[in-house]
């Protein structure tokens, strides 16, 4: 497999023939030697065995120049960034380093002295940036996956422009040591792939704290990247008056994705849009300038004019104004936490539309700003995001949908993205440190108490039914299920995986007359589940003929 994959990638590079794609290529002989060595060793449990990849040229690879899109800035590191080393250790095959908007500043993909990488779908469209080469290499079929970076949308806009997957992890989940900073406090290493499953597999390899990285942080012990499907979701979208589109087709594609998602609640995202406006007009501009002060002072004429203008503006920012920005960011994060307390994901257009190169040339700054309408706030608010394709306009221009969730929600976003994309997910399984918990009421997916389940790190496993030995009663906001000696029914519910360490704390929050006990399912298994003391249902209405709490809620709402 490694040799065949390497040969196919090399052939595809030659066939694609884009001189602006790579900044530094690894010689074909070295790639083939790496592939042959891997083949001789065998997989050895390496998760990415034999998969070719590329990295954005603001990420260090030992022995290869890091240019960040600026020849005068270039240096050659002696060690690879931890994120690259993890991929190599997992058996992946590096093809080289690819083009980007200089210093990762821009969402368009055209601000580079190395040329403009060709959009993989239509050469007249922008490739998207700043991770232009990373996205086009995957979309062109050259790389199985790639690394980009994302500060304001650079891991999502290029995905939409090239109709692929763009995964922006939570802040600090993937180390950024060895990455040329844009805004160091907001930077993320992102993943481009052709499927959600592939992006999740790459994330599983590269995630994890790095002790020498000041912005790295450990994920919760229960975190995983594997797509986590659910049968029901609590989804939100912006108010209609807060949506901006380039064409009616862009709007129609977005609305079609919302319709596919099912029930979606419209919410006010004005505080999020407001903090996004500060990204290029305040503290974070000064942070970019601080990171690149040396090149501005020594070789400013080598910096792209648009990028130079943005960076020079940082010298005039005042500390007193920066504190206003940081306080505003804290308020935006608080608002985001409140939104996600009752929602699994926020569904956004990845961009209002993808412009052509001609449109960008007509208004370079305005078009770039417009692209970031729904991406700029995500990193500031410490959120995770997954960009997926949303279809094509009648003129063939692609559109994208971005799923946004709280930090460390990558698995749930991947599960939702797979459902919306029609991508099959492997059935989730219990981990060694988890116990099954059968939910029959408001703790089920999409219902009001599900956030409590998620707070205790519960994971949906499967829908299931009890054996026909129970009766269920309406206790108002939740049901009470009681085992009966005769006249029982089978009731629908959900099996969730709960860390064993969470069972006690979760049970302590369950009010009487409810509690946990063994529930017998129709397949004979007996997981923990929600049961009620018989005395607690006296005088309560039996929900029959409904065969589950969801069905009963529907009946109750219709009467």
Confirm whether 348 is domain-assigned: yes
pLDDT at 559 over 80: no
Confirm whether 472 is domain-assigned: yes
Cα torsion through 448, 450, 453, 454, rounded to 10: -120
Last-in-domain residue among 379, 396, 421 = 421
459: Cβ contacts below 8 Å, ≥ 6 apart: 222, 228, 411, 428, 434, 496, 497, 498
- pLDDT, one tens digit per residue, over 377-405 is 999 999 999 999 999 999 999 999 999 99
Give the whole-number percent of the chain exceeding pLDDT 70: 100
**295 lies in the same domain as 201:** yes
- pLDDT, one tens digit per residue, over 234-269 is 999 999 999 999 999 999 999 999 999 999 999 999
Confirm whether 428 is domain-assigned: no
Query: Which ranges in 422-546 belong to alpha helices (H)?
Result: 450-455, 500-508
Confirm whether 92 is domain-assigned: yes
Last-in-domain residue among 360, 386, 421 = 421
Question: What confidence category does residue 294 fall into, taking pLDDT thresholds of 50, 70 and 90?
Answer: confident
**333 lies in the same domain as 256:** yes
b or e along 519-530 (b: 16 or more beta carbons within 10 Å of the residue's beta carbon)? Answer: bbbeeeeebbbb
- What's the domain range around 536? 434-558
Q: Is 42 left (phi over 0), alpha (psi -120 to 50) or beta?
A: left
**415 lies in the same domain as 450:** no
Determine the average pLDDT of the residues in 280-297: 87
The residues assigned a catalytic role are 56, 130, 154
Peptide bond into 545 cis (omega under 30): yes
Looking at residue 268, its pLDDT comes to 98
Determine the average pLDDT of the residues in 42-53: 97
Question: What confidence category does residue 311 fall into, taking pLDDT thresholds of 50, 70 and 90?
Answer: confident
Looking at residue 298, its pLDDT comes to 86
- The domain spanning residue 321 has which CATH number? 3.90.1300.10
Looking at residue 458, its pLDDT comes to 94
- pLDDT, one tens digit per residue, over 468-520 is 999 999 999 999 999 999 999 999 999 999 999 999 999 999 999 999 999 99
**165 lies in the same domain as 30:** yes
pTM of the model: 0.94
DSSP β-bridge partners for residue 462 = 495
- pLDDT, one tens digit per residue, over 153-202 is 999 999 999 999 999 999 999 999 999 999 999 999 999 999 999 999 99
Question: What confidence category does residue 365 fall into, taking pLDDT thresholds of 50, 70 and 90?
Answer: confident
Confirm whether 7 is domain-assigned: yes
Total domains present in the chain: 2
Least-confidence region, from 106-115, 312-321, 335-344: 312-321
d(CA 182, CA 103): 7
The token duo for 83 is 């994120």
- pLDDT, one tens digit per residue, over 124-150 is 999 999 999 999 999 999 999 999 999
Whether residue 57 contacts residue 117, with contact meaning beta carbons closer than 8 Å, is answered with no
Query: Strands of 528-532's sheet, edge to edge?
Result: 459-465, 492-499, 434-439, 528-532, 514-518
pLDDT at 85 over 90: yes
The SS3 call for residue 211 is coil
Question: What confidence category does residue 279 fall into, taking pLDDT thresholds of 50, 70 and 90?
Answer: confident
Question: What confidence category does residue 545 fall into, taking pLDDT thresholds of 50, 70 and 90?
Answer: very high
Nearest to 165 by CA among 467, 387, 445, 471: 387
Looking at residue 505, its pLDDT comes to 96
**343 lies in the same domain as 438:** no
Peptide bond into 513 cis (omega under 30): yes
**409 lies in the same domain as 446:** no
**210 lies in the same domain as 335:** yes
**402 lies in the same domain as 502:** no
**225 lies in the same domain as 337:** yes
The token duo for 370 is 């417009």
- pLDDT, one tens digit per residue, over 297-307 is 888 888 888 88
Confirm whether 475 is domain-assigned: yes
Mean pLDDT across the chain, nearest whole number?
96
Return the H-helix or E-strand segment holding 462: strand 459-465
Question: What confidence category does residue 467 fall into, taking pLDDT thresholds of 50, 70 and 90?
Answer: very high
Confirm whether 78 is domain-assigned: yes
Determine the average pLDDT of the residues in 535-554: 96
Determine the average pLDDT of the residues in 291-319: 86
Confirm whether 429 is domain-assigned: no
- The domain spanning residue 550 has which CATH number? 3.10.490.10
Question: What confidence category does residue 111 fall into, taking pLDDT thresholds of 50, 70 and 90?
Answer: very high
**485 lies in the same domain as 455:** yes
Last-in-domain residue among 421, 447, 477 = 421
**109 lies in the same domain as 199:** yes
**417 lies in the same domain as 467:** no
């Amino acid at each position: 497999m490694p040799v065949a994959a390497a040969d196919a990638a090399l052939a595809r590079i030659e066939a694609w023939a884009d001189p602006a794609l790579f900044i530094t290529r690894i010689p074909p002989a070295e790639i083939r030697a790496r592939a042959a060595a891997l083949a001789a060793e065998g997989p050895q449990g390496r998760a990415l065995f034999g998969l070719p990849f590329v990295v954005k040229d603001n990420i260090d690879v030992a022995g290869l120049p890091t240019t960040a899109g600026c020849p005068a800035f270039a240096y050659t590191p002696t060690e690879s960034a931890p994120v690259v080393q993890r991929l190599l250790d997992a058996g992946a095959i590096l093809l080289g380093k690819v083009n980007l908007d200089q210093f990762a500043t821009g969402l368009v993909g055209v601000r580079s002295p190395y040329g403009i990488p060709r959009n993989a779908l239509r050469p007249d469209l922008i490739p998207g940036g700043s991770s232009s080469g990373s996205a086009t290499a995957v979309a062109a079929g050259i790389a199985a996956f790639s690394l980009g970076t994302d500060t304001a949308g650079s891991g999502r806009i290029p995905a939409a422009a090239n109709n692929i997957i763009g995964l922006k992890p939570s802040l600090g989940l993937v180390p950024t040591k060895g990455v040329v900073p844009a805004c160091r406090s907001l930077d993320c290493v992102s993943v481009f792939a052709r499927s959600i499953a592939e992006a999740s597999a790459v994330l599983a390899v590269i995630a994890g704290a790095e002790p020498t990285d000041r912005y790295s942080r450990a994920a919760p012990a229960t975190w995983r990247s594997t797509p986590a499907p659910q049968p029901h979701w609590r989804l939100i979208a912006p108010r209609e008056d807060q949506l901006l589109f380039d064409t009616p087709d862009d709007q129609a594609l977005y609305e079609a994705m919302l319709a596919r998602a099912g029930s979606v609640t419209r919410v006010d995202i004005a505080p999020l849009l407001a903090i996004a406006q500060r990204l290029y007009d305040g503290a974070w501009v000064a942070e970019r300038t601080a990171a690149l002060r040396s090149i501005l002072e020594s070789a400013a004429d080598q910096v792209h004019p648009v990028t130079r203008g943005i960076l020079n503006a940082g010298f005039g920012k005042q500390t007193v104004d920066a504190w206003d920005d940081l306080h505003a960011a804290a308020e935006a994060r608080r608002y985001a936490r409140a939104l996600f307390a009752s929602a699994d994901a926020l569904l956004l257009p990845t961009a209002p539309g993808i412009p052509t190169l001609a449109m960008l040339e007509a208004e370079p700054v305005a078009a770039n700003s417009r692209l970031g309408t729904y991406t700029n706030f995500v990193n500031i608010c410490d959120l995770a995001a997954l960009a997926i394709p949303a279809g094509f306009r009648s003129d063939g221009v692609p559109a994208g949908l971005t799923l946004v969730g709280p930090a460390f929600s990558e698995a749930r976003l991947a599960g939702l993205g797979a459902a919306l994309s029609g991508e099959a997910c492997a059935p989730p399984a219990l981990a060694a440190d988890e116990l099954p918990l059968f939910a029959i009421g408001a703790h089920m997916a999409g219902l009001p108490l599900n956030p409590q389940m998620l707070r205790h790190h519960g994971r949906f496993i499967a829908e299931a039914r009890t054996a026909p030995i129970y009766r269920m009663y309406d206790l108002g906001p939740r049901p009470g299920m009681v085992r009966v000696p005769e006249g029982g029914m089978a009731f629908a519910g959900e099996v969730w995986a709960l860390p064993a360490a969470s069972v006690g704390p979760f049970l302590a929050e369950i009010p009487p007359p409810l509690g946990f006990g063994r529930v017998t399912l129709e397949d004979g298994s007996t997981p923990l589940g929600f049961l009620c003391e018989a005395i607690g249902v006296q005088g309560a209405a039996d929900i029959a003929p409904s065969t589950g709490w969801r069905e009963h809620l529907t009946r109750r709402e219709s009467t």
